[in-house]
Structure 1
Amino acid sequence: MFQLLLLALSFLESPVFMISVLRTYDYKASSWVHICGGSIIRPHQDADPALYRVQVGEVYLYKEQDLLNISRIIIHPDYNEFSKRFDVALMQLTARLVTSTHVSPVSLPKDSSTFNSSDQCWLAGWGNVLQNVPLQPPYQLYEVKIPIQDNKSCKRAYRKKMPDEPKSVAIFDDMLCAGTLGRGPCFGDSGGPLVCRKSNKWIQVGVASMGVDCSNDLPSIFSRVQSSLAWIHQHI
Structure 2
Amino acid sequence: MINLFQILFVAIFLARNSFSYRLENLDDSVRIIGGEDARPHQFPWMVYMKLYHIPLHEWQKSMTNVCDGTLINNRWIISAAHCFEPNGYNLSQNIVFLGSHNITEMEEKGRKVIKAKKAIIHEQYDHWNIKNDIALVELSEIIEFDEYISPIHMRNSYDNFDHDQCLTLGWGRIGEHMEKSDTLKKVQQSLQTLDDCRKFYSDLDDTQVCAGTLNHGPCTGDSGGPLQCLNQNQSWFLEGIVSYGSSHYTKPAVYTKVLAYLEWITKTIENNTNVLI
TM-score, reference length from structure 1: 0.81
1:33 positional shift: 6.3
Quote the offset at 1:225 in angstroms.
Answer: 0.2
Q: Alpha carbons of 1:229 and 1:66: their partners in 2 closer, same or farther (altered >3 Å)?
A: closer
Provide closer, same or farther for how the CA distance between residues 19 and 66 of structure 1 changes in structure 2, counting only shifts above 3 A: closer
Aligned to 1:161: none
1:98 to 144, 164, 170: 144
Mean Cα deviation higher: 186-195 or 106-115:
106-115
Distance 2:234 2:157 in 1: 18
Tell me, yes or no, if the aligned pair for 2:162 and 2:230 is still in contact at 8 Å. Answer: no
Matched, 1:142 2:185: yes
Deviation at residue 188 of structure 1 after TM alignment: 1.0
- The answer on 1:13 being equivalent to 2:55 is no
The separation in 1 between residues aligned to 2:223 and 2:151, in whole angstroms, is 19
Q: After TM superposition, give the deviation of residue 11 of structure 1 in Å.
A: 1.5
What is the rounded CA distance, in whole Å, between the counterparts of 2:134 and 2:161 in structure 1?
Answer: 19
Q: Deviations over 1:9-44 (max 9, x none)?
A: 3223332221101102499xxxx9651100100125
Residues 90 and 145 (structure 1 numbering): CA distance in 2 closer, same or farther, change over 3 Å? same
Looking at structure 2, the residues matched to 91 and 125 of structure 1 have their Cα atoms a distance apart, in angstroms, of 18
Cα deviations by residue, 1:148-191 (Å, 9 ceiling, x for unpaired): 111111112x1xxxxxxxxx531111000001211110111110
For the residue of structure 2 that corresponds to 1:39, the secondary structure is strand
TM-score, normalised relative to structure 2: 0.69
Distance 1:49 1:97 in 2: 23
Deviation at 1:54, TM superposition (A): 0.5
Q: In 2, are the aligned partners of 1:50 and 1:69 still within 8 Å (CA)?
A: no
Structure 1 residue runs of 4+, over 4 Å off? 44-50
Residue by residue over 1:85-107, the C-alpha shift from the partner in whole angstroms, topping out at 9 and shown as x without a partner, is 11010010011112111111001
Amino acid at match of 2:190: P
Q: Deviations over 1:172-231 (max 9, x none)?
A: 1100000121111011111000111111321000000000026x2100000000111000
Tell me, yes or no, if structure 1 residue 227 matches structure 2 residue 269.
Answer: no
SS at match of 2:145: coil
CA-based RMSD of the aligned residues comes to 2.5
Paired AA for residue 98 in structure 2: V
Gaps of 5+ in 1: 1-7, 159-167
Q: Distance in 2 between matches of 1:186 and 1:67?
A: 24
Structure 2 portions without partners, runs of 5+: 1-29, 55-62, 76-80, 270-277
Secondary structure at the counterpart of residue 51 of structure 1: strand
C-alpha change, 1:93 and 1:51, in structure 2 (3 Å) is same
Match of 2:98 in 1: 56
Deviates most, 42-51 or 94-103: 42-51
**Distance in 2 (alpha carbons) for counterparts of 1:112 and 1:171:** 23
Percent identity (aligned): 25
> In the TM superposition, what whole-angstrom CA distance separates every residue of 1:58-93 from its partner, at most 9, and x where no partner exists?
101233365211112111122111111110100100
Contact 1:108 1:203 in 2 (8 A): yes
Instruction: Return the alpha-carbon distance in structure 2 between the equivalents of residues 116 and 78 of structure 1.
Output: 31
1:128 counterpart = 2:173 = yes
Q: Secondary structure at the match of 2:153?
A: coil
Supply the distance in 2 between the matched residues of 1:71 and 1:125 (Cα, whole angstroms).
Answer: 23
Residues 49 and 72 of structure 1 are in contact (CA less than 8 Å); yes or no, is this contact kept in structure 2?
no
Q: Counterpart of 2:37 in 1: which secondary structure?
A: coil
Alignment partner of 1:43 is 2:74: yes
Displacement of 1:113 in angstroms is 3.5
**Secondary structure at 2:72 match in 1:** strand
In 2 relative to 1, CA 86–112 (structure 1 residues): closer, same or farther, beyond 3 Å? farther
Matched residue type, 1:145 = Q
1:186 pairs with 219, 236, 240, which one? 219
Q: Whole-Å Cα distance in 1 between the matches of residues 126 and 162 of structure 2?
A: 26
Distance 2:91 2:153 in 1: 25
